[in-house]
Amino acid sequence: MKKKNNEAAPAADQGLFGALLPPAPAKKSGLLSFSYSKMSLYEECPLKYKFKYIDKIKEEPKFYFAFGNSIHTALEFLYSVKAPPFPSLEETLDAFRRDWNAKSYLEKGYRTQQRSDQDYEKGAAMLKAYYEHNQARFKPPFLVEYSTDVEVDGLLVRTISDRIEHLGAGEIAIIDYKTGKDVKRQPLQLYMYQKINEMDPRLKEKLAETYGLRVSAVKVRQLLYYHVPTLKEYPFPRADDKEIGSFWDRVLGVAESIKGLKFDPTPADQACSWCDFKSLCPAFFGGHPHPAGQPSASTENIEALVDRYGQLKEKMADLQAQLDKVAESIAGSARDGAEYDGSQYTAQVKKSSKWEFRDREAVITVLNKFNLYQKALSLTLTGITNVLESDDLPDEARKKLLEQAVKRTATEIKVAKKEGLI
């Protein structure tokens, strides 16, 4: 049976790393293989994304994925019927047990057999409650664990919908099961399902095959998270064009950053505490504290890691210097808005003006003198630039700030590899 694999990164069943990967889609030239879980991981930490999806470094198994997968497998089994009768509760629990026993407790990511057995009991009780709560309204769904890959905007986007119900006249409801402690209320993952399923030509064929119904388009009418542990439903109406549009802008922003090979680490306690790549990560060892509850590296390890850290820092500094030099040369000769073609990469060049401030203390003095400190919100370049460029800034304050400011040309170079999936 297929495994759940594109769940978002929830708090407790932490889709931080995405679950077991589905078979890789057929490679299509120039398309970036994408999914909601990839996007969440990139937004959580670009370097973590790189370690997982680009460098393909293997992670430790996670028990919360094993648990969620076995629950999904049992529900898939329960709903994989074309017509009643449905499997009995015992048969459904058997499906859960088979999937659970297919791996040892260590392979599932548990530290002890006992913890694994406790979760098995918890999962069986959860499924029993689900069965009894929903039995009266069981009806054969339109599709179960429906996986599709759709090409859009240079991406090959994969979604796997846990269950799709046909509501009539080509309108559907998409249901996504959650098995962690909380449900993320944000429906963004469901927006991805809406967009991709509505673009998927196979869904129309499936409607024709299943119900003999021919429609010009499939439309999502309802989106739903079903939280299995509490039997609670979190319904959302279909997203309107504006919501989908802004969500899609975010998707394209992430995709652009991935294509532009932007993989700077963004350390944060929670993300780092669940991260298997700490020993490889310069940001984590670069002063970021070990999050509580995580074991520290052993002393003998630390010596080796100190050396590795030093070597990587040196390498990074060297690479950064080379990168800056090349970027400077490109910036010097490229035209604003132009696109350039190398043999392996293409680059788009965008130039803009930006302010730099020479003396931080002097800037603070000016802001305080004119009661502008609050207006800057924070002493970031953006905050101070906003103050400087605001229309209602008193002339004298502008003059004082300009004494500390230098206007430079910033050049943004977006590169993309020409061929092959990243």
Sequence-distant (6+) residues with CB within 8 A of 30 are: 154, 418, 419, 420
Nearer to ligand SF4, 39 or 45 (CB): 45
Nearer to ligand SF4, 86 or 277 (CB): 277
Smallest gap from Cβ 327 to ligand SF4, in A, equals 24
Q: What is the DSSP letter of 136?
A: G
Q: Which stretch binds ligand SF4 (CB under 6 A): 97-105, 190-198, 250-258, 264-272?
A: 264-272
Residue 48 interacts with ligand SF4 (CB under 6 A)?
yes
The residue within the footprint of ligand SF4, chosen from 41, 47, 126, 192 (CB under 6 A), is: 47
Smallest gap from Cβ 264 to ligand SF4, in A, equals 9
What does the alpha-carbon distance between residue 382 and residue 387 come to, in Å, rounded to a whole number?
9
Sequence-distant (6+) residues with CB within 8 A of 265 are: 45, 46, 47, 48, 281, 282, 283, 284
In contact, 368 and 337? CB cutoff 8 Å? no
Nearer to ligand SF4, 39 or 281 (CB): 281
The residue within the footprint of ligand SF4, chosen from 142, 218, 265, 404 (CB under 6 A), is: 265
What is the size of the binding site for ligand SF4 (CB under 6 A)?
13
Q: Which stretch binds ligand SF4 (CB under 6 A): 43-51, 102-110, 207-215, 293-301?
A: 43-51
Smallest gap from Cβ 275 to ligand SF4, in A, equals 3
Nearer to ligand SF4, 48 or 195 (CB): 48
Nearer to ligand SF4, 48 or 206 (CB): 48
Smallest gap from Cβ 285 to ligand SF4, in A, equals 9
In contact, 122 and 100? CB cutoff 8 Å? no
- With 0-12 CB in 10 A as exposed, 13-18 as middle and 19+ as buried, what is 144? buried
The residue within the footprint of ligand SF4, chosen from 67, 267, 387, 400 (CB under 6 A), is: 267
Q: What are the Cα distances from residue 400, in Å, to 78, 189, 366, 379, 403?
A: 71, 48, 7, 16, 5
Nearer to ligand SF4, 46 or 187 (CB): 46
349-382 CB burial, b ≥16 within 10 A, e <16 = beeeeebebeeeeebeebbeebebbeebeeeeee
What does the alpha-carbon distance between residue 313 and residue 319 come to, in Å, rounded to a whole number?
10
The residue within the footprint of ligand SF4, chosen from 190, 239, 258, 271 (CB under 6 A), is: 271
Residue 72 interacts with ligand SF4 (CB under 6 A)?
no
Site map (CB under 6 A) of ligand SF4, residues 273-312, x = contact: --x-xx--x-xx----------------------------
Q: What are the Cα distances from residue 126, in Å, to 63, 68, 129, 162, 378?
A: 17, 11, 5, 17, 48
Nearer to ligand SF4, 196 or 275 (CB): 275
Nearer to ligand SF4, 22 or 291 (CB): 291
The torsion angles phi and psi of 60, rounded to 5 degrees, stand at: -70, 145
Q: What are the Cα distances from residue 152, in Å, to 129, 197, 302, 306, 370?
A: 40, 12, 46, 44, 50
Nearer to ligand SF4, 160 or 281 (CB): 281
Q: Quote the tokens at residue 34.
A: 């994408």
Nearer to ligand SF4, 59 or 256 (CB): 59
**Secondary-structure percent of the chain, ordered helix, strand, coil, rounded to 5:** 45, 20, 35
Q: Which stretch binds ligand SF4 (CB under 6 A): 40-48, 217-225, 320-328, 331-339?
A: 40-48
Sequence-distant (6+) residues with CB within 8 A of 242 are: none
The residue within the footprint of ligand SF4, chosen from 272, 349, 384, 388 (CB under 6 A), is: 272
Quickly tell me which residue has 């975010």 as its tokens.
250
Q: Which stretch binds ligand SF4 (CB under 6 A): 26-34, 107-115, 159-167, 265-273?
A: 265-273
What does the alpha-carbon distance between residue 53 and residue 67 come to, in Å, rounded to a whole number?
23
Q: Which stretch binds ligand SF4 (CB under 6 A): 42-50, 120-128, 308-316, 369-377?
A: 42-50
Residues that bind ligand SF4 (CB under 6 A): 45, 47-48, 265, 267, 271-272, 275, 277-278, 281, 283-284
